[in-house]
Structures are given as C-alpha cells and as structure tokens.
Amino acid sequence: MHCMFKFPAILSAPIKRSCIESPFGLSACSKHHPRVSKVVHTYIEEILKGLIANMISLRSNTASLATIVKRSYHNRALLGKRETVGPGFNNQLMYVDRADFPYPASRWGEPDAKIDALREKEKGDWKNLSIEEKKALYRYSYRQTFSEMNAPTGDWKIVVGGTMIAVGITFWIYAFLKKFVYSPMPKSCSEEAKLAQLERMVQLRANPIDGIGSKWDYENNRWK
C-alpha cells in the first residue's frame, strides 16, 4: 500500500539518460542503446500502470462488499425480533408479500406470550386448534393471503385522476396563453383567405397532373 504514494512520482519523473537493468537481466544504456532503453522504460511504465489499475479495482470491490454488509445489517435491524426462516426474495433478509415468491425470509409478526403459547399448541394435534387460532398462526407468519395479494388495488384511479388533472391544467394554461399572450392569427389563416388562395391556384392550373389542377373541369368551370 505504500507504493500507491510513490507511483505518481515515478511515472511523472523525467527519464534520465542512464543505464537501466530490465527484469530479464538486459543491461541497457540510453546513451549508447537508445532503442533498448526506450523499450525498457515502456515496459516499466506498463507494469506500474497495471499495478495502479489493480489497486483501484481492489479498492472499488472492497467498497462494494462494505455496502452489501451494511445493507444486510440494516435489513436484519429492521426485522427486529422476527424469526428468520430461510432465504428470501433475491436472497435478501427481508419480508415481502409476493405471489411469485410466497416464502419470505422472515415471519411477519414478532413473537409474544400469546403466540408462543399457540406455537406450542401447534406442535400437537391440529384438531385441537380453533379456526381463530389457525388464523392467528397464519397472520403471525404472513401478512396477506393469496386472495389479498391478487386483489385489485385501485391504483389505476390515482393514475387516471392525476392524468386528467394534468390535462385540465394544460388546457387552461393554453387558453390563458391564447387569450392574453399570443398575438392574433394573420389574415391569411382566415377561411376567406384560404378560399381565395385555392381559387388562385385553380386559375394558375397548379399541379395539373395529379394535384388541384387535375381536379377542376376548366371547360364547365366546376369540380370534376
């Protein structure tokens, strides 16, 4: 790790015209052998650059591992006293209701005296358990049933309502700009001006092959 502070100085230092021993035992002097000296210097620089890149990669991987450890500890802290029963969704230590992954990593409820008594009673014959006790045991392990997970949530109402509000606001903004900000449309955009322009194009026989001129009967002075 001490080399990390020495590499920049080595890389930025000027290359002296002196003899250097290469890793292969080749002695090269820049004064007498400039080509060999250049090869040796390039080889050393490539080695140093590779070492720096490896150290940066190692440091990045260490930071990623620390992040994973912190996230795992955070999830365990959120579980509190809940019992962990196995690997969860994406192998994460958390509780989530999913129909495609019906086995969360932990139970939904935290243990108490009432649940502990039911858990002991559960070890015996289930015929001795009432319907309410079975429901309590289920709710201790799971927050929702499959019917509750697959039931419509009504979120589409929020989406549709928000979209209509946005469209309404946009309309009123446009109406305000049209009324008080934008200048009036030019006269050439009126219906009378458009009809006059069309009549002028017919008189000029514009596009007589397959355009306006081809649709007008010039002998009878009417549209074909």
Q: Where are the domains of the chain?
A: 39-72, 75-150, 187-223
- Statement: 75-150 belongs to CATH 1.10.442.10: yes
Enter the pTM of the model: 0.45
pLDDT range class, residue 3, cuts 50, 70, 90? very low
Mean pLDDT throughout 159-170?
97
pLDDT exceeds 80 at position 37: no
The secondary structure of the chain as a DSSP string is -GGGGTHHHHHHSPPPSSEEE-TTS-EEETTT-HHHHHHHHHHHHHHHHHHHHHHHHHHHHHHHHHHHHHHHHHHHHHHTTPPB-S--GGG-SS----SSS---SB-SSPP-HHHHHHHHHHTS-GGGS-HHHHHHHHHHH-S--HHHHHS---HHHHHHHHHHHHHHHHHHHHHHHHHHTSPPPPGGGSHHHHHHHHHHHHHTT-STTTSTGGGEETTTTEE-
Query: Pick the residue with more confidence: 50 or 27?
Result: 50
Return the pLDDT at 113: 93
Return the pLDDT at 27: 45
Contacts of 52 (CB under 8 A, 6+ apart): 4, 7
Return the pLDDT at 4: 44
> Taking all residues of the chain, what is their mean pLDDT, rounded to a whole number?
78
Highest-scoring range by mean pLDDT, 155-164, 179-188, 201-210, 215-224: 155-164
Query: Pick the residue with more confidence: 18 or 183?
Result: 183
